[in-house]
Amino acid sequence: MAGSNEALPGLCFLGLLLCLCSSSAAAASTPDLLYLNLLWPGGYCQSVNLGEACCIPTTGVPAADFHVQSLETYDSSSGNPIINCDSQCRFLINPLVDLIEDMFAYWPNLSCPSNNGMDQWRHVWCTYGNCTGLSEVVYFNRTLQLRERANILVTLQNWGIVPDASSTYRLELIEEALKSTLGSSSFSVECERRYTVWPLLYQDYLTRIRICVSSDATTIVTCPTVLTTNCDSKVKFAPILYAASPGRQGDATANPVRLRSAMDMLL
């Protein structure tokens, strides 16, 4: 009798350990919440590297619209990202053949020096995509579909919020506009702060919209934890400007470069 009483705490401890181990193992393989990150190139390109402009990609034509940055995998109960699920992860471009024009348009890497976007796609796939349990083509396709469905630029335009070099907009108005289509607790607006006179004078630029998405990447959902904005009450929605790179037109959207075959240029 005494013996079994003594064993009890040990058993409980063992049970607790097993419990913790199995729940973290389950969490590591099954994200239950995704974050869709949509970049506004106008803000992003004003803010990277202390205001240096972005570089037009070497291949394809970036759209004058919000771009996908990533679709991140999370465990909603811990709030932690679930990443790098397979150290052997490989990214293949061939499965994306039917999506490639959209990838160039809506999922470019605008960082300098100019590049074709592949490193970013590989990085996003092996960091997050591989953890979703979706195939590569389904992961990238659903992400592109979500971007389209969120329809941020058109929604803002309908509320009179248009890219403008000199105006600022009230953050509240931007949030009201997005609530009307995305739902009230399903997103956050993120800004980058640029100082004109540090630390006294600055301007916040709308840079990113972060949206909560179901684990199968099909549906915009209410966020389990409220996402907070880091923007000031007045926000700049800057027009898109890219630095001209050798051999490419400075304003990519005004003079689209037609491609023989986007795939030919990657392979």
**Footprint of ligand NAG (CB under 6 A):** 86, 88-90, 98-99, 109, 111, 113, 115, 119-120, 123, 130, 133, 135, 137, 141, 145
Nearest distance from C-beta of residue 134 to ligand NAG, angstroms: 6
Q: Which is nearer to ligand NAG, 10 or 113 (CB)?
A: 113
Contact status, residue 31 vs residue 74, Cβ threshold 8 Å: yes
The three-state secondary structure class of 256 is: coil
Q: Which is nearer to ligand NAG, 32 or 232 (CB)?
A: 32
Cα separation of the two ends of the chain: 73
Contact status, residue 214 vs residue 245, Cβ threshold 8 Å: no
Nearest distance from C-beta of residue 236 to ligand NAG, angstroms: 24
The three-state secondary structure class of 195 is: strand
Q: Determine how many CB atoms are found less than 10 A away from the CB of residue 193.
A: 15
Nearest distance from C-beta of residue 82 to ligand NAG, angstroms: 13
The three-state secondary structure class of 136 is: helix
d(CA 79, CA 32): 10
Q: Which is nearer to ligand NAG, 89 or 263 (CB)?
A: 89
Q: Which is nearer to ligand NAG, 45 or 235 (CB)?
A: 45
d(CA 4, CA 110): 65
d(CA 96, CA 160): 36
Nearest distance from C-beta of residue 220 to ligand NAG, angstroms: 15
C-alpha 32, offset from chain centre: 17
Nearest distance from C-beta of residue 123 to ligand NAG, angstroms: 4
Q: Which is nearer to ligand NAG, 88 or 166 (CB)?
A: 88
The DSSP secondary-structure symbol of 233 reads: S
Q: Which is nearer to ligand NAG, 143 or 186 (CB)?
A: 143
Nearest distance from C-beta of residue 29 to ligand NAG, angstroms: 10
Provide the token pair at 146: 């979500």
